[in-house]
Amino acid sequence: MPSLNPYLNFNGNTEEVFNFYKSVFGGDFAAIMRFKDMPAEHQGSDSENNKIMHIALPIGKGNVLMGSDVPDAYPKATPGSNFYISISAESEEEAHKLFKGLSEGGNVMMPLDKAFWGSLFGMFADKFGVNWMVSYDYNQPQ
């Protein structure tokens, strides 16, 4: 069974937002990646180098609040619609099935493919306008 987590997008203040959430919920970030950490061929403008590409804050048992700054090449985040539902599949086959099924009739923003960080990953808005991310981590603990 896949797990679901909220994924929030912001316009350049993700680090501030997540430091606030960390001050309320406690704990430590499980991941912080900046746009400058991406391979050179995937990097955008110099102005976004220090912005957050991905951040994850575990909250409670099995829950992770995740987020990122919107890259300059994407439309700005709009409060109220600046989130994704992130699905972590248990197998590559499950990731493909979920991506294909949920994206049917929708708008694929990033096709499901192997990403430089070691996961199978894709993004889309379904036919109802709900934003989704589907991933499968090849390095899952056994």
Q: Given the DSSP bridges, would you call strands 83-88 and 131-137 parallel, antiparallel or unpaired?
A: parallel
- Which pLDDT score, from 0 to 100, does residue 142 have? 55
- Which pLDDT score, from 0 to 100, does residue 56 have? 97
131 CB neighbour count, 10 Å cutoff: 19
- Which pLDDT score, from 0 to 100, does residue 130 have? 82
In the chain, what are the domain boundaries? 3-137
What is the Cα–Cα distance from 46 to 50, expressed in whole angstroms? Answer: 8
CATH superfamily of 3-137: 2,3-Dihydroxybiphenyl 1,2-Dioxygenase, domain 1 (3.10.180.10)
Which parts of the chain register pLDDT below 50? none
pLDDT tens-digit profile of 100-127? 999 999 999 999 999 988 899 999 998 8
